Amino acid sequence: GIKRAWWKESNVYQIYPASFKDSNDDGIGDIPGIISKLDYIKNIGVDVVWLCPCYKSPQVDMGYDILDYRDIYEKYGTLSDIDELINGLHQRKMKLVMDLVVNHTSDQHEWFKSAISSKDSPYRDFYIWRKPKIGSNGERLPPNNWVSHFTGSTWEYDDKSDEYYLHLFAKEQPDLNWENPKVRTEVNNIIRFWLDRGVDGFRLDAINFISKDLDFPDAPITNPSAKYQDATIHYANGPRLHEYLRGMGQILREYDAFSVGEMGSFNDPNEVIKVVAEEREELNMIFQFEIVTMDASTAGRYFPRKWMLSELKRIVNKWETYMYENHGWNALYLENHDQGRSVSRFASDKPEFRSYAAKMLATFLGLQSGTVFVYEGQELGMANMPNTWGIDRFKDLESINFYNEVVESGASEEVVQVVLADLRKKGRDNSRTPVQWDSTAFAGFSTVQPWMDVIDDYKEWNAASQVNDPLSVYSYWRSIFELRHGYKDIFVYGSFTLVDSTDEQVFAYARRYEDKVALVILSFAEEDYSWTVPEEYLKQGQVLLSNYGDVSMLKSDIIMRPFEAIVYLID
């Protein structure tokens, strides 16, 4: 068996502060708004709240550009609001996990303002500077061909010093130089500052990018038509990553803190295990990106790719079995603030299917081995923006830059429309629309027009109509979290077995702990579909949960209805 730990038994709920709940009617969510909903969150069965960045920030990237790590963005509240939030959560036996964004700062951070002011600044070496490259015609070029996550070069030129600084994300997000021990000390102090204040852990943003290949070599040309190239091989999981993570891991262990790292662009469990294997004392778990990149074409993140259920099975099986066998731990998610809504993306938001589909995905995700992360609104089956929304409704710089780049490349109108449709499916803004609290104006999120439009379906799809409805998506998520709490042996600590690796309509898996077995059967089909339950599971038992609510036993040949989910416990 595997070692027990509180963070393995915890259900996590992610909050995006701008979109959760507005308390003072300025159209922007805030910390008092969150405080007003703590009972709602507790009621789902949540143990840990992960709060996206709420620090002082010019908000070029929704707070992932931090200007002061020890203060709060005015529109979200104050430090004393955070203290109240911590207390409110602790009183309800929940914990608070903050977002630690230390691959980069804002260009408005004191450190960077000083660094860019002069080559002699004591903070110059907090960032990464390189001389220009001189082109064949004597022209000035960036030091290499790396492409930024938000399009364009990863290098920004500074006239004053005739040097470029590195930014893997926006130019307003200069990368910190982790080679500098002073940077690491500052980060450690920030970590202690928040843990001492009562925070219970961190989600570590883009954490596998902190150690770069210091030669900054050109990236291989993988996209011949593009000016700049994907360079993740040169900065993801770099040479000193584990040394840095052990340093942070030590402090985190001192406080028994929660930790989940974000490891984009890296789907190799042999590398990931080096971060999450218990004996290595780095992080508790990481977010890998294999599921959420499965539906992107090689042409780019927002070009669609058709996926097969067998691929999803292969991915899930790979991570589930690998982590279980190697003392690792999975962070399970289908949504976050960087992704489209799962019901629209991986199942169906057609009115006749939406509720079943959202519950089926809850079962799919919620009963796997790992810690489950639910993103605000996912517990309500919130859907993507409607296909009537044009690019003018988007707010996210990544999506807008991507779209503009496609348009400027001279793509045909048809290709532009394909990209726009894909942005409505996967673009980051889909999950950033205001949470739908009730059927009043602006979905009860605010009394004024919010910073982002509310999705038009809020009159029907909202929290007020779901909280007390036993058949709602919300109540179904409660049941999932109840199963995780009530059957820890099997649903938290049990092993995982993929039951049928080839069927393209039904995803079935078993969880096993000693002589206890649970079988989870999920249909991804929009039609009735017949499936044969393997012999070994046809034993005396009980249905623990089913999204159609009328299944009480298993027989060998079952007709799975559209997006049906059945959880069967053999006892």
Residues of this chain that interact with ligand TEU (CB under 6 A) are: 61, 64, 101, 149, 169, 205-206, 262, 264, 301, 337-338, 398, 428
CA distance 247 to 242: 8
The option from ligand TEU, Ca ion, none interacting with 26 (CB < 5 to 8 A, set by class) reads Ca ion
Other residues' Cβ atoms within 10 Å of the Cβ of residue 118: 12
DSSP helix, strand, coil percent of the chain (3-state; round to 5): 35, 20, 45
User: What is the torsion angle, in degrees rounded to the nearest 10, for the CA atoms of residue 68, residue 69, residue 70 and residue 71?
Assistant: 50
- Please give the positions annotated as active site: 205, 262
CA distance 204 to 210: 11
Question: Is 212 exposed, middle or buried (CB count within 10 Å of its CB: 0-12, 13-18, 19+)?
Answer: buried
- At what angle are helices 241-254 and 181-197 packed, to 10 degrees? 30
The option from ligand TEU, Ca ion, none interacting with 22 (CB < 5 to 8 A, set by class) reads Ca ion
User: What is the torsion angle, in degrees rounded to the nearest 10, for the CA atoms of residue 236, residue 240, residue 244 and residue 245?
Assistant: 50
Kindly tell me which of 338 and 503 has the beta carbon lying closer to ligand TEU.
338
Structure tokens at 152: 């364009």
**CB-based contact 51:62 (threshold 8 Å):** no
**Residues in the site for Ca ion, rule: CB under 5 A?**
22, 24, 26, 28, 30
Kindly tell me which of 332 and 517 has the beta carbon lying closer to ligand TEU.
332
How many angstroms separate the Cα of 495 from the Cα of each of 66, 424, 481, 490, 566? 40, 36, 18, 8, 19
Nearest approach in angstroms of CB 2 to ligand TEU is 28
The option from ligand TEU, Ca ion, none interacting with 61 (CB < 5 to 8 A, set by class) reads ligand TEU
Kindly tell me which of 8 and 337 has the beta carbon lying closer to ligand TEU.
337
The option from Ca ion, ligand TEU, none interacting with 42 (CB < 5 to 8 A, set by class) reads none
Nearest approach in angstroms of CB 435 to Ca ion is 13
The option from Ca ion, ligand TEU, none interacting with 149 (CB < 5 to 8 A, set by class) reads ligand TEU
440 DSSP 8-state letter: S
Question: Is 488 exposed, middle or buried (CB count within 10 Å of its CB: 0-12, 13-18, 19+)?
Answer: middle
**CB-based contact 159:166 (threshold 8 Å):** no
CA distance 508 to 499: 5
**Residue 470 CB contacts under 8 Å (≥ 6 apart), including other chains:** none
Kindly tell me which of 33 and 142 has the beta carbon lying closer to Ca ion.
33
The option from ligand TEU, Ca ion, none interacting with 428 (CB < 5 to 8 A, set by class) reads ligand TEU
Nearest approach in angstroms of CB 34 to Ca ion is 11
Kindly tell me which of 9 and 271 has the beta carbon lying closer to ligand TEU.
271
The option from Ca ion, ligand TEU, none interacting with 24 (CB < 5 to 8 A, set by class) reads Ca ion
Nearest approach in angstroms of CB 109 to Ca ion is 24
Nearest approach in angstroms of CB 61 to ligand TEU is 5
Nearest approach in angstroms of CB 416 to ligand TEU is 19
Alpha carbon 179 to its chain's center: 27
* DSSP per residue, 488-537: HHHHTTSEEEES-SS-SSEEEEEEEETTEEEEEEEE--SS-EEEEPPGGG
Kindly tell me which of 26 and 489 has the beta carbon lying closer to Ca ion.
26
* DSSP per residue, 200-218: -EEEETTGGGSS--TT-PP
Nearest CA among 1, 80, 81 for reference residue 33: 81
CA distance 355 to 363: 12
Kindly tell me which of 63 and 88 has the beta carbon lying closer to ligand TEU.
63
Kindly tell me which of 45 and 174 has the beta carbon lying closer to ligand TEU.
174
Kindly tell me which of 180 and 232 has the beta carbon lying closer to ligand TEU.
232
Nearest approach in angstroms of CB 23 to Ca ion is 6
CA distance 472 to 205: 33
Strands (E), 162-265: 163-166, 201-204, 258-262
CA distance 11 to 484: 8
CA distance 245 to 253: 12
* DSSP per residue, 63-130: TSS-SEEEEE-TTT--HHHHHHHHHHHHHTT-EEEEEE--SB--TTSHHHHHHHH-TT-TTGGGB-EE
Kindly tell me which of 301 and 512 has the beta carbon lying closer to ligand TEU.
301
* Run of H or E including 287: strand 285-287
Nearest approach in angstroms of CB 365 to Ca ion is 31
Nearest approach in angstroms of CB 263 to ligand TEU is 9
Nearest approach in angstroms of CB 375 to ligand TEU is 12
